[in-house]
Structure 1
Amino acid sequence: MMSFGLLFKSVTRDVARVAVCQHVRSVHTGLQLLAAEKALLMKLRKSTGYTFTNCKKALEKFDNDLSQAETWLHKQAQKEGWTKANKLEGRKAKEGLIGVFKKDKEAVMVEVNCETDFVARNEKFQQLVKDVALATLAHHQKKGHSTVGYVKSVLAGEELHKLSVAEGTSLADQVALAIGRLGENMSVKRAITVGVPAEWQIGSYIHGAVSGQTEVAMGRYAALVVFQGGKEGEQELVGRKLGQHVVGEAPLSLGNMDDLPCGESETRLLAQTFLVDPSRTVAQFLRGQQARVLDFVRFQCGETVSEEEK
């Protein structure tokens, strides 16, 4: 028979072995839990863009429920954004971007301002410009504007802030959220939408375009040009050249095809020397293309806008 001393040592070893196994399992489970929580944290951070600290706080608050955590984060950010927006109101915002979006026979051009060029290059600010452009076009379409004829609508300030984005929130909320995230005063200054009939064309040009932007083109200067005609296959190029001229020469009125140039101070589009080909006027270029310009709009970021131009 086994002595009491040997029996005691055997039992002690078995107990120790069980304890070690339980500890290993506990550590393993803990590591799994940590890995799962880290994965949730990374997912929430990626989907919302908020800081790791705030994401961790949200997950802890809602026992790792990703959906509730994300909803709470958005609400908190919105509150903080409005608070910061109110504090920064009144600070000059002259930088920013012009956004242009064209779809079929409609186009929209918007101006969104911030305080510095540094923020204008931020992707969150550029997302705001895109939101404004798409919301403005959606508003234009919702009002039932028909492209049987030429339609041009202008929105500014408070009218724009009331527009809704895809999730149903207002543009004012989106602006406040961007202010909260980027820490600068911002404003949605103005927007213009044009719609043309099937046989008309809309040309556009962006100067100083932001790289990487495709759906909504963005830059510091932009123009829309409404025209008829143009040689088959060359209409897009004609529209781009006309837009480039409008951006570069800043005409103030359209003028007539028979107008004679009055020198370097000429402000009528058709009588101006054509920027792309200085050997002729814009009117002469159009005759060669069998086209005619019906209207144009030019935006320069940060420029002073009179009440008549809004």
Structure 2
Amino acid sequence: MAEITASMVKELREKTGAGMMDCKSALNETGGDMEAAVDWLRTKGLAKAAKKAGRVAAEGLIGVVAEGTKGAVVEVNSETDFVARNEQFQKMVSDIASVALTAGGDVDKLAATNYPGASKSVKDYVTEMVGTIGENMNVRRAGSISVSDGVVSAYVHSSVVPGLGKIGVLVGLESTGDKAKLAELGRQIAMHIAATNPLATRTDELDPAVVERERNVLIAEAKESGRPDNIIEKMVEGRIRKFYEEVVLLSQAFVIDPDNTVEKAVKAAEAGIGAPVSVIGFVRFALGEGIEKEESDFAAEVAAAARG
């Protein structure tokens, strides 16, 4: 069995909000498997909120650009937030996002594409900027979306300058209707996505593994009640439907009009737009999601340095 360390207990506690001893028990019960420990705590009703992604720790900026029927989003990381406020860094991220309109969501292709106004690739330009700014930087990921007839709308949350911020969202809407009204609807949906972080546009687009994991947790949780299997089955199906309402974009309550789902809000907007509207998909990047920054004990570092 893996050794259960204090740092593992601390990490699980931060992920779930559960008590320290409960976290230790969960890790012991699951052999140190962090995801399984989160599920164990949920089954026991001890997890306050299992986070969907790791703690946001990386610095840098999300760059977003949308032009008509296509859009792109990139994440460029730096070591400190100070660099994210540097005008040179900001211009670089904006330029890289523009390049991504052509390169698409393939970060390797993006890295190999020529940087605007320079006789070098994006990768080489970033390397050069590392030397200029004096801090490590990297293009972590890229995403894109396009439509054949419609618009791609964008939204940036915690914007530092236009098109750059901490969360970037693109949403694609297909429609032959009024493009200006369609773009405004798209922006509202993009703002909704920034706030709610859905996992998929439609229920059938959810990762089956995610649904299966949720179902297994709900089954184990329901069995704790001691009720008969036929009742448990109904309980689980009801909770799965609730899960869909929480994580599927079109099934979510629209943040701008909570009395309607996003799907109903889109349908209601069709009259003003003058044609049917289809949400084809979205891309949402939050700065540093899924990255764990190693925490350091500053006092311990000073003490170590003093000891020589």
TM-score in terms of structure 1 length = 0.57
- 1:104 equivalent to 2:68? Answer yes
- 1:301 equivalent to 2:281? Answer no
In structure 2, what is the equivalent of residue 182 of structure 1? 133
Q: CA deviation at 1:154?
A: 2.0
In structure 1, what is the equivalent of residue 158 of structure 2? 208
Q: Please give the alpha-carbon distance, in whole angstroms, between the structure 1 residues aligned to 2:141 and 2:195.
A: 21
For 1:230-249, list aligned pairs within 5 A: 232=178, 233-249=180-196
Q: Please give the alpha-carbon distance, in whole angstroms, between the structure 2 residues aligned to 1:203 and 1:172.
A: 28
Secondary structure of the 1:134 match is helix
- 1:172 equivalent to 2:138? Answer no
Question: What are the superposed Cα offsets for residues 97-135 of structure 1, whole Å, 9 maximum, x if unpaired?
Answer: 111112232211111000111110110111110221122
Listed as ranges, the gaps of 5+ residues in structure 2 are 1-55, 205-239, 271-276, 292-308
Q: Please give the alpha-carbon distance, in whole angstroms, between the structure 1 residues aligned to 2:137 and 2:249.
A: 33
Listed as ranges, the gaps of 5+ residues in structure 1 are 1-91, 141-152, 306-310
In structure 1, what is the equivalent of residue 258 of structure 2? 278
Question: What are the superposed Cα offsets for residues 25-56 of structure 1, whole Å, 9 maximum, x if unpaired?
Answer: xxxxxxxxxxxxxxxxxxxxxxxxxxxxxxxx
- 1:221 equivalent to 2:185? Answer no
Q: CA deviation at 1:256?
A: 5.7
Q: Which among 215, 228, 250 is matched to residue 197 of structure 2? A: 250
User: What RMSD over aligned residues (CA atoms) do the two structures have, in Å?
Assistant: 2.5
Q: Which among 85, 97, 114 is matched to residue 133 of structure 1? A: 97
| Compared CA separation, residues 265 and 272, structure 1 to 2 (3 A) | closer
Q: CA deviation at 1:218?
A: 0.7
In structure 2, what is the equivalent of residue 195 of structure 1? 146
Counting matched residue pairs gives 193
Q: CA deviation at 1:265?
A: 6.8
Counterpart of 1:185, as a letter, is: N
Counterpart of 1:163, as a letter, is: T
For 1:81-96, list aligned pairs within 5 A: 94-96=58-60
Q: Please give the alpha-carbon distance, in whole angstroms, between the structure 1 residues aligned to 2:176 and 2:257.
A: 17
| Compared CA separation, residues 285 and 202, structure 1 to 2 (3 A) | same
Higher alpha-carbon Rg: 1
Q: Does the aligned pair in 1 maintain the 2:65–2:154 contact within 8 Å?
A: no
Q: Please give the alpha-carbon distance, in whole angstroms, between the structure 1 residues aligned to 2:280 and 2:145.
A: 12
Counterpart of 1:160, as a letter, is: L
| Compared CA separation, residues 172 and 186, structure 1 to 2 (3 A) | same
Q: Which among 151, 154, 157 is matched to residue 105 of structure 2? A: 154
Counterpart of 1:286, as a letter, is: V
Q: Please give the alpha-carbon distance, in whole angstroms, between the structure 2 residues aligned to 1:295 and 1:192.
A: 12
Q: Please give the alpha-carbon distance, in whole angstroms, between the structure 1 residues aligned to 2:94 and 2:243.
A: 40
| Compared CA separation, residues 168 and 296, structure 1 to 2 (3 A) | same
Q: Please give the alpha-carbon distance, in whole angstroms, between the structure 1 residues aligned to 2:170 and 2:61.
A: 15
222-231 or 111-120: bigger deviation: 222-231
TM-score in terms of structure 2 length = 0.57
Q: Does the aligned pair in 2 maintain the 1:160–1:190 contact within 8 Å?
A: no
Counterpart of 1:271, as a letter, is: S
Secondary structure of the 2:246 match is coil
Question: What are the superposed Cα offsets for residues 69-92 of structure 1, whole Å, 9 maximum, x if unpaired?
Answer: xxxxxxxxxxxxxxxxxxxxxxx9
101-110 or 246-255: bigger deviation: 101-110
Q: CA deviation at 1:228?
A: 2.3
Q: Please give the alpha-carbon distance, in whole angstroms, between the structure 1 residues aligned to 2:173 and 2:241.
A: 21
Question: What are the superposed Cα offsets for residues 160-196 of structure 1, whole Å, 9 maximum, x if unpaired?
Answer: 3222113221112211222112221111011122232
Q: Please give the alpha-carbon distance, in whole angstroms, between the structure 2 residues aligned to 1:104 and 1:255.
A: 24
Q: Please give the alpha-carbon distance, in whole angstroms, between the structure 1 residues aligned to 2:105 and 2:285.
A: 13
| Compared CA separation, residues 267 and 230, structure 1 to 2 (3 A) | farther
Counterpart of 1:227, as a letter, is: L
| Compared CA separation, residues 265 and 196, structure 1 to 2 (3 A) | closer
Counterpart of 1:103, as a letter, is: E
Q: Please give the alpha-carbon distance, in whole angstroms, between the structure 1 residues aligned to 2:245 and 2:265.
A: 20
Q: Please give the alpha-carbon distance, in whole angstroms, between the structure 2 residues aligned to 1:279 and 1:249.
A: 16
Q: Please give the alpha-carbon distance, in whole angstroms, between the structure 2 residues aligned to 1:96 and 1:250.
A: 20
